[in-house]
Structure 1
């Protein structure tokens, strides 16, 4: 099992301090939120991209990819009836793919609930058709750069579009592109009507990334969720990607969250490996 962390947790830290801390704590990889680098992907210069990649490599931390792709941006939407906005969104996803590849990453997690929720007058079927159009337009360039686009189901508290792994799977199968797959998130799967281990097993064939967090929006092990059945399901399906810590409640502090989350996950993984 390889462990990573989503770095927007380290708000106010410079990049070298982030990489040094992640390395010293024991994380294998890091997932970057683009808005922490610049307002838009295009504003991250070639020199900055090289420096970001170089510093991470210096500390032995792999940049695995990007998430929060459309957060804190304007003018982008996945399901809108406005074709000009859809085209612009597809082009921006491709631009993010260039940023991801330039940093050495290979995956992008598409969550961004505000930029996919249904707009007035747009039916679910129209929204689905519009989303498929956007993804189809972006995927060729992502494929050329070796970047996977991963659909992230989210709860109905966050969005009214793509709320389950089944719904994401339907989109993935409809498009049938080798660089489109599923991302799973513990907090999000708590909103589904099946146990998380069952959801993991049902979608093992299309899942390429995994976010670990707890029901209280803090790190794994910092809330009520028992991760032993979850990690056992990942092990049984042969999952060999990263498990990234992604939190939404920063109250315990960045350092404490990062340290305790990794300690807990390593302990759980050790127990699973030994059949406990």
Structure 2
């Protein structure tokens, strides 16, 4: 199982320090939030992209991809009735695909709840069709970079559009591109009210990436969720992608979150190995 850390929790840390520290804890991947690198994508030059990648590699890390794709942007929206805004959103996703590819990443997680919420007067069916159109227009160029764009179901507390893995699977079927697939997030799946092993098994064929966290917005092992059945289900499903720690409450500090999450995940794997032997 390959462990990565979502690096936006390292507030105020320079890139070199982020890489050096993450590697020292045992992470082998970094997942990047674009806003944590620069205010705009155009601010990240070709030379800077090469430097970010080479610095990570120097510390034995892979930049696995991007998430929070539309966070802190303006004029972008997935389901709006405004054709021009949706076209701009497709174009921006293509630019993100180029950034991801330049950094050596292979996955982009589409969460961005505020930029996908249904506008007043928009039905779910209308929003669905608009989102599919946005993704279909962007996918050929993204796929050309060897990058997968992944739909992330989120809870009803965060968005009113695509709240379950079943709904995401419907969108994946409609977009119909092998590089458009499913992202699963523990905190979000806990909101579905269905045991997580069953969700993991049901959607194993389209799942390309996995976020670990808990309903308290902290990392695995820092809340009440038992990860033994979750990791067992991932192992049973043959999942061979990244398991990436994504938290939303940074108050304990980056070091505590990184270290406790890693220690817990390693302990869960050790427990499972012992029980399965």
Both proteins in one fold, TM over 0.5: yes
- The answer to whether residue 118 in structure 2 is matched with residue 118 in structure 1 is yes
Deviation at 1:40, TM superposition (A): 2.1
Residues of 1 paired with 2:72 and 2:214: CA distance?
Answer: 24
Give per-residue Cα distances to partners, 1:160-191, cap 9 Å, x unaligned. Answer: 00000000000001111010000000000011
1:48 aligns with: 48
1:194 aligns with: 194
TM-score by length of 1: 0.99
Residues of 2 paired with 1:162 and 1:216: CA distance?
Answer: 22
TM-score by length of 2: 0.98
Alignment: residue pair count: 276
Give per-residue Cα distances to partners, 1:217-252, cap 9 Å, x unaligned. Answer: 101000100000000000000001110000011121
After superposition, where does 1:27-176 map in structure 2 within 5 Å?
A: 27-176=27-176
2:5 aligns with: 5
Unaligned stretches of 5+ in structure 1? none
Residues of 2 paired with 1:275 and 1:129: CA distance?
Answer: 46
Residues of 1 paired with 2:16 and 2:164: CA distance?
Answer: 37
Residue 275 of structure 1 aligns to a residue whose secondary structure is helix
Unaligned stretches of 5+ in structure 2? none
* Superposition RMSD in Å: 0.8
After superposition, where does 1:207-222 map in structure 2 within 5 Å?
A: 207-222=207-222
1:253 aligns with: 253
Runs of 4+ with >4 A deviation: none
Deviation at 1:122, TM superposition (A): 1.2
Residue 3 of structure 1 aligns to a residue whose secondary structure is strand
